[in-house]
Amino acid sequence: MHVIKNIDNLRLWRDGLKEKGETLSFVPTMGALHDGHLSLVKEGLKQCDNVIVSIFVNPTQFAPHEDFDSYPRTIEDDIKKLQNIGVQAVWLPNIDDIYPNGAQSDIHIDGVSEPLEGEFRPHFFDGVATVVARLLRLVNPTVALFGEKDFQQLQVIKKMVHQENIDVEIIGAPIMRDENGLALSSRNIYLSAEEYKTAIQLNKILGEVANDQLDESSATQKLLNVGFDKVDYCTVRNSETFELEPPNRVLAAVWLGETRLIDNMAIR
């Protein structure tokens, strides 16, 4: 596996694939890799001849009060995991590779980025859209893969590549869950044993909304009753526009202490 640390080497490696006529899947990540990331990589290996994974904790998608400094960084472990599943390359950009003129967002996506996560984390999608556009332009992959756990992020990225004329196919992959149904997330390591017992209620309650056993406001109340400290939203929306109609996906963001969890589910 190539461990690429600068843009010149990235370009050399990328040009080599083009010369051989080989296709490339790209999985952008912020590291602290878990089975959810690895499932994206495995799908990438099916889609194309090669897979490259980037590991870059992107400062522009964190607000000053959020967890940028404490975000888990486990680079040695991440590299081993990628090596073990047969990834061809991992790219570790440095801040100047991505933000040569300073870490600032310069892309805004109207509509899909505004409700839900956009309301509670107003800086977030501009940061994600900016970094993903820059990563995609540097890697120039055939396809790029993102998990459906960040469901709104996936739709924002699809709209961003269209708006920015980036020639790539965006593929969404299903949420990976642990044995208790908790959606895998790098932030799950922040949960204490006690908080974990509450966290695993989230997918169960969303399942009840998806099966029409609970409405949004009863679900919000139930989330608070089982021990979540705060519910930013628990709502049924359209999965492409995030408007109220036609509703086909339940999405929630909840807090346990300092940890914010998100999850979502299709409505059958």
Hey, what are 162's tokens? 């269209």
What lies within 8 Å, CB to CB, of 268 at 6+ separation is: 210, 211
3-state secondary structure of 216: helix
Distance CA 104, CA 82 (A): 30
Complex with ligand PAF: residue 89 or 223, whichever CB lies closer: 89
Please, which of residues 27-66 interact with ligand PAF by CB under 6 A?
A: 28-30, 58, 61
131 binds ligand PAF (CB under 6 A): yes
- Please check whether residue 14 is in contact with residue 141, taking contact to mean a CB–CB distance below 8 angstroms: no
Cβ 146 to ligand PAF shortest distance, Å: 6
Distance CA 268, CA 257 (A): 32
Residue span binding ligand PAF (CB under 6 A) among the ranges 24-32, 137-145, 220-228, 255-263 = 24-32
Residue span binding ligand PAF (CB under 6 A) among the ranges 26-34, 136-144, 197-205, 235-243 = 26-34
DSSP for residue 86: T
261 binds ligand PAF (CB under 6 A): no
What lies within 8 Å, CB to CB, of 51 at 6+ separation is: 24, 25, 26, 27, 41, 44, 45, 87, 88, 89
150 binds ligand PAF (CB under 6 A): yes
128 binds ligand PAF (CB under 6 A): yes
Complex with ligand PAF: residue 12 or 189, whichever CB lies closer: 189
Complex with ligand PAF: residue 12 or 85, whichever CB lies closer: 85
37 catalytic, yes or no? yes
Candidates 2, 34, 37, 108; catalytic one: 37
Cβ 56 to ligand PAF shortest distance, Å: 7
CA angle 189, 190, 193 (to 5 degrees): 80
* C-beta neighbour count of 56 within 10 angstroms: 19
State the residue for tokens 């929306």: 237
Closest to 234 (Cα-Cα) out of 259, 207, 197: 207
Distance CA 114, CA 241 (A): 10
Residue span binding ligand PAF (CB under 6 A) among the ranges 7-15, 38-46, 125-133, 137-145 = 125-133
Cβ 220 to ligand PAF shortest distance, Å: 25
188 binds ligand PAF (CB under 6 A): no
Complex with ligand PAF: residue 29 or 88, whichever CB lies closer: 29
Complex with ligand PAF: residue 214 or 253, whichever CB lies closer: 253
| Contact footprint for ligand PAF (CB under 6 A) | 28-30, 58, 61, 128, 131-132, 150, 153
Residues identified as active-site: 37
